[in-house]
Structure 1
Amino acid sequence: MTKSTMHYLQLAIILLAVTLVQAQKIDDTMDLLLIREDKVSPSMSNDYELSLADLHNFLVDNKVKDFNYFTHLQDDYNFAHIIPIDNLNDFRNGTREALKEKINNPELEVIMNYFDLSVDSYLQYIVQYQPKLSYVLENDNWMENSSYRKWNYFYFYPGNETEVEELLAAYRFLYEQKSVEMGFRVFKGLIGTEKPLYILTTWGASPLDYHESLEKASKTLGDEGAVLWTNLMKLVRETKTSEGWYLPQYSYSPDKKLAE
């Protein structure tokens, strides 16, 4: 048996091992996340961050409940706010109106108006966390202690969703089998995105820590990981990558955690 044949045989075994997982229909009650991306000019980023601080302090002072968001700064000066949602109807009129329904205070309107002065444009869309396709170590504190982020957006050819999810599940299985120390999380685009879209997020304490962990993970996954990744990329029609940071000082999450 040649080395190449052995690698494909190992891949077949991995895919067989996740058949049972893929046979289960993805649960409709998985975490839904509303992503609001604010495009901010570099010259206005300081003003925008002051508004973020004002909003955070306002929510803390008023002990606002049932409204949570996790703020990230991406390398293109997009400020992305990740908002866990339980009911789509709560945000039928947008994030501002949803917050105003929680608390009716003129000060909030003033803060929002200052936001408008520093935002060039914004985009809102909804994704769904896919825990069965994600790999997060039990004791991995990927929030405050690992604030560096990388977002990989993969736009696949339509009609290949089943195969894409089989390969992602096989990838997760391989990570578990080899006890890889670096994790990843998978999100599926639902509303307001091109489809099919799957977003893979990874994290680290710093860019250096991230790339060292990535190199170690690649060596651990070996040829089996390379084969799986190559087969996944064959289904991709377009991809883009952003990097940035989680900003806990501007985030507000008194009663909610991001999906794990």
Structure 2
Amino acid sequence: MSALKSTVWVTVILFLLPYLNIAQESKNQLFYIHEDRVKPSMIQEYEQISKEFKEACTKHNLQGLSWEVASTSTGRYLNISPLTNMAELDKNVMAPLAEKMGDEAFKDMFKRFNRCYDKHGDYLVYLNEELTYMPEGISTTTEGQNYRKWHFLHVTPDNIQDLKEKLKELKALFTRKGSKEYYRVYHNGFGTMGDYYVAVLSAIDEEDYAKKSKANQVLLGEEGKKVFDDVFKYVYKYEVESGSMHPELSYSPK
């Protein structure tokens, strides 16, 4: 039995090792994401309940939790909260809110949420400063630029390091050329199947994004095309999502 326990713990440690290594790097901010895949017919209702939930948090001065909200054109709503470490996941930060609202009212609000989607879940991602290109300072909130474009680069475990090196080369090229198209790079963490990097770009709207993208393509020229080709050699699946941030649904305690 003791041998079996040892084997199990070794397996668990080996499984968690990539995430522990990522977490130990000081340049990687950890984020907890709760994702709701909202039915098209329930988007308006979902956003109304989200506003009511934010109002309840503000009224009762919920502490210990803040979040930003993003949504994609495919109905994915991402509630994004920064974490200092994974131990914060053990805290029941909603307990004081449930007590102040009343248990029945609190549960009723989440019952209304649940009618808006058939699938939802939780996972972690890490903001990787080493791969992020924001020369004027890294920030997840880009004032006046709530439009978002997510570029997902799915990668197999044996190609992760090679892809990372190519993303470093890409950042170096953007830096050397003085590109005005800034981006943040995240890596998946605990709670997801498969590995990916995602580059997130901000703009005023779709037109502004297209204008920046075209100007950047011209700026980088053939050298940029070569680096991007090298990046995609290690990507087995590429996905793009468009959407926006929702400051009106975001919450930060006073």
SS in structure 2 opposite 1:226? helix
Equivalent position of 2:116 in the other structure? 118
Equivalent position of 1:134 in the other structure? 132
Equivalent position of 1:13 in the other structure? none
**Identity rate, percent:** 22
Equivalent position of 1:199 in the other structure? 198
What's the offset of the Cα at 1:167?
1.0
On the 8 A contact 1:143/1:246 being kept in 2, the answer is no
On the 8 A contact 1:91/1:98 being kept in 2, the answer is no
Report Cα offsets for 1:27-52 as digits up to 9, x if no partner: 53421111211011111111111110
List structure 1 segments (4+ residues) > 6 angstroms apart after TM superposition.
none
The question of 1:28 aligning with 2:1 is answered no
Change (3 A) 1:77 1:231: same
What's the offset of the Cα at 1:92?
4.5
Give the TM-score, by structure 1 length. Answer: 0.81
Change (3 A) 1:176 1:233: same
SS in structure 1 opposite 2:209? helix
The question of 1:81 aligning with 2:79 is answered yes
What's the offset of the Cα at 1:155?
0.9
Gaps of 5+ in 1: 1-24, 256-260
What amino acid sits opposite 1:237 in the alignment?
A: Y
SS in structure 1 opposite 2:189? strand
Equivalents in 2 of 1:253, 1:223: separation in Å? 44
On the 8 A contact 1:36/1:123 being kept in 2, the answer is yes
What amino acid sits opposite 2:241 in the alignment?
A: S
What amino acid sits opposite 2:95 in the alignment?
A: K
What amino acid sits opposite 1:134 in the alignment?
A: T
In the alignment of these two chains, the number of paired residues is 228
On the 8 A contact 1:137/1:181 being kept in 2, the answer is no
Give the TM-score, by structure 2 length. Answer: 0.82
On the 8 A contact 1:134/1:172 being kept in 2, the answer is yes
Aligned-residue CA RMSD in angstroms?
2.1
Equivalent position of 2:59 in the other structure? 61
Equivalents in 2 of 1:89, 1:108: separation in Å? 25
Gaps of 5+ in 2: 1-20
On the 8 A contact 1:71/1:82 being kept in 2, the answer is yes
What's the offset of the Cα at 1:251?
0.7
